[in-house]
Amino acid sequence: MIRLSVIIPMYNVEPYVERCIRSLQNQDLPKNTYEIVCINDGSPDNSLGVVQKLSEEFDNICIIDQVNQGVSMARNNGMDIAKGKYLLMIDPDDYVKENTLKERLDILDRNDIDVALTGYIILDVSGEEEYVFDPIHEKNEVLSGIDYFDKYVRGKSEIRDPHRSVAIFYNKDFLDRNKLRYLSGVPYLEDGEFLARVRCLANKVNFINKPFYLRTTRPGSATHSGLFYTERAREGFLNAAKNLKVFRNKCPLEKQKTFLNQPIIHFTLLYIFSFGISNYLKNRKEIKESLKINSLSTLEVKGCSKQYALIGRLYNVSIRYMLGYILLDRFIDSLRIRMKFN
């Protein structure tokens, strides 16, 4: 039986992907009980060649070679052919600690979970430990995805990368039954849209302590590029907000509907912020019309954190009022920092 399928999308990661795959091979699991699904997303470098050579050494590597479709579709295509009971998303420039997978899979089996979040470590550009996420949870606690988010994530601005979809184990049957896949056409922060729907529907979520996943900081990655301010990113943010609104309207439970209000606000704000202040002021009529066409002129705030609810209410009065508040809030924060350290 295949216990785990690790999904790795690849694009311009030739210098990193071998380290990632070897870290996954250096585990306390028989090779015939897990697979590593590598999706070459039309990468122009030799990422595919590196993995093909590794597949001669390790027979649990599965390769998909496709024309460029973006990271969301690359992951989706890997998920579709995956044979494992559980799925683990990993970015090819990240890696995991040795001999850490078996313990986590055993915990998953004991709890029969839908989703298991785990601790992770963020490394800086020099490879030094910069941030550790390993919060204390109640032992053997299992919650719904919404209850987990409300208890451990909502309103906690100190958490770095709270909307990541890597370093999380997913029950494949749960994803398949609910037709949960990444939304195509979202080239930036696509994880957050997918994870919002996952959290909304998951009934059994737990947390596994002791960080095993190492996140690297790579200057050329999407997160550290200028992609945020491009037309592609803007269209993606708008698509994400629209998709979540459609998804919300189909949810049977009021608790699910109100839970999705915050991520809808989140992606609507990203759409506006991606223009930058000066471009927003130049194009505000066109932007407001686009939001109106996509039924995003008014945002629901019920169930949101205090900050999101306040921003949503200001947005409903005037986007300019909302932007003015956010700029003032950031200015006050910068003053607090200066007064603290100077």
Q: What are phi and psi of 108, to 5 degrees?
A: -60, -45
Q: What CA–CA distance (Å, rounded) separates 71 from 79?
A: 12
CB-based contacts of 40, cutoff 8 Å, min separation 6: 10, 47, 48, 51, 63, 64, 65, 66
Q: What CA–CA distance (Å, rounded) separates 214 from 122?
A: 6
Per-residue pLDDT, 161: 86
Q: What is the pLDDT of residues 96-148, one digit of tens each?
A: 999 999 999 999 998 889 999 999 999 999 889 999 999 888 878 999 999 99
Per-residue pLDDT, 340: 42
Long-range contacts of 314-319 (CB under 8 A, 24+ apart): 315/265, 315/268, 315/269, 319/272, 319/284, 319/287, 319/288
| Letter string b/e over residues 95-123, b meaning 16 or more CB atoms within 10 A of that residue's CB | bbeeebbbebbebbeebebbbbbbbbbbb
Residue-wise DSSP of 153-207 = TTT-TT-SSTT--SSEEEEHHHHHHTT--PPTT--SSHHHHHHHHHHHH-S-EEE
Per-residue pLDDT, 194: 97
- The three-class DSSP label of residue 209 is strand
Q: What CA–CA distance (Å, rounded) separates 196 from 266?
A: 11
Contact 227, 176 (CB under 8 A): no
Q: If you average pLDDT over each of 169-173, 272-276, 332-336, which comes out highest?
A: 169-173
Q: What percent of the chain has pLDDT over 90?
A: 79
pLDDT at 210 over 50: yes
Give the predicted TM-score (pTM) of the model.
0.92
Strands 129-133 and 205-215: unpaired
Q: Is the torsion defined by CA of 227, 68, 160, 314 positive or negative?
A: positive
Domain with CATH 3.90.550.10 in the chain: 4-223
Q: What CA–CA distance (Å, rounded) separates 64 from 78?
A: 8
4-223 CATH pick, 1.10.150.120, 3.40.50.2300, 3.40.50.300, 3.90.550.10:
3.90.550.10
Per-residue pLDDT, 140: 83
